[in-house]
Homo-oligomer: A and B are copies of this chain.
């Protein structure tokens, strides 16, 4: 995909402005740090010998996907929802995996119609016979073949077949037998890594995920079904993993931005976090400085999958190098910062590292790129709030 193929919406007026002049609340992305996180993951994938397929649910932005695809080592993208996937298909991304167990044929129809039109390499996932039937039926309606992965539960216990079950083999058989499906292999998301208490524990989860996929692939091959792809996800488990042997693909999403959750887990340093929310103190009482960023900007997420720590992010007055203030509470449009009688007057601006950048990008829908306190670009999140 070239930059020219992307419908990038830029607010040219803002470029060249100062960070200090941006109205708040808003998302600020440090462009240099972003480049480094993108390069770090490209190098990690190259050294591990796995394909990199970034999850775009984190940023929902065509401009950012373009960076991942052009210099970030990405071979394609992964999306959460059918209409989110369509935004990237229609912008020209040639390899799109819809990593969600869709069971509604109308949604699949829209994705396949777009994929046919743009000659996209499409992939889907399922963990049930109902899911396989829905995708096979839709592909038949479109007279096309699409890729399919068996989603495997590696410990989050959300979606995915139980890898020890006979059902896992049965669903893989149904995929392999379906005339309009190319059974590619297995796919997992070790989201329970977000509940780990150390990097070593995350590494153990990643290793268990790898072994689980290798074992199940072997069982499926033993019944005569070829398994070519083994795809794993989650930024923490990818950053902490000791081995990728036997795996073919990684699908991290959050790595481009990072956030307070990545810091809490120990898989990133504060100097790596490229994403923050700029906010202004609008009121102050004896205990709290009140900022203009509440749950409608920061979200109420404590972390991913409901796993997390205290508060709703860390606020820094003089850049993330200074001493941070915990954002203790949120109303819809207010954040409560315990000021501890430190200097934080009305009108002061803070940069907040939120708990979960993936949900913030979805709420705000536009980000300002900064370098040396200058605004150098503005990106839209074109696939924001695509719920279907």
User: Which A residues lie at the B interface, using CB under 8 A?
Assistant: 23-26, 57, 80-81, 100-104, 106-107, 127-128, 130-131, 153, 157-160, 162, 191, 280, 282-285, 287-288, 290, 292, 295-297, 299-302, 304-306, 329-334, 336, 346-347, 358-359, 362-365, 385, 387-388
Q: Decide if A336 touches B158 in the complex (CB within 8 Å).
A: yes
| Among candidates B159, B283, B299, residue contacting A159 with C-beta atoms closer than 8 Å | B283
| Among candidates B104, B158, B287, B332, residue contacting A23 with C-beta atoms closer than 8 Å | B104
- Known interface pairs A80-B333, A305-B329. Does A285 touch B153 (Cβ–Cβ under 8 Å)? yes
| Complex-state Cα separation, A365 to B263, whole angstroms | 32
| Among candidates B296, B334, B347, B387, residue contacting A362 with C-beta atoms closer than 8 Å | B296
- Known interface pairs A25-B387, A127-B283, A280-B103. Does A306 touch B332 (Cβ–Cβ under 8 Å)? no
| Beyond known contacts A160-B285, A332-B359: 4 more, CB 8 A cutoff | A57-B332, A128-B346, A295-B306, A305-B330
Q: Decide if B331 touches A283 in the complex (CB within 8 Å).
A: no
Chain copies in the assembly? 2
Q: Is the interface of A mostly helix, strand, loop or mixed?
A: loop
Q: Decide if B387 touches A283 in the complex (CB within 8 Å).
A: no
| Complex-state Cα separation, A365 to B305, whole angstroms | 23
| Complex-state Cα separation, A75 to B106, whole angstroms | 44
| Among candidates B290, B296, B359, B388, residue contacting A158 with C-beta atoms closer than 8 Å | B290
| Among candidates B191, B280, B288, residue contacting A104 with C-beta atoms closer than 8 Å | B280
| Complex-state Cα separation, A185 to B130, whole angstroms | 61
Q: Decide if B385 touches A346 in the complex (CB within 8 Å).
A: no
- Known interface pairs A130-B346, A295-B301. Does A283 touch B23 (Cβ–Cβ under 8 Å)? no
Q: Which residues of B contact A364 (CB under 8 A)?
A: 385, 387
| Complex-state Cα separation, A158 to B305, whole angstroms | 29
- Known interface pairs A102-B282, A131-B346. Does A296 touch B334 (Cβ–Cβ under 8 Å)? no
Q: Which residues of B contact A288 (CB under 8 A)?
A: 157-158
| Complex-state Cα separation, A26 to B292, whole angstroms | 28
- Known interface pairs A104-B280, A159-B290, A282-B102. Does A388 touch B23 (Cβ–Cβ under 8 Å)? yes
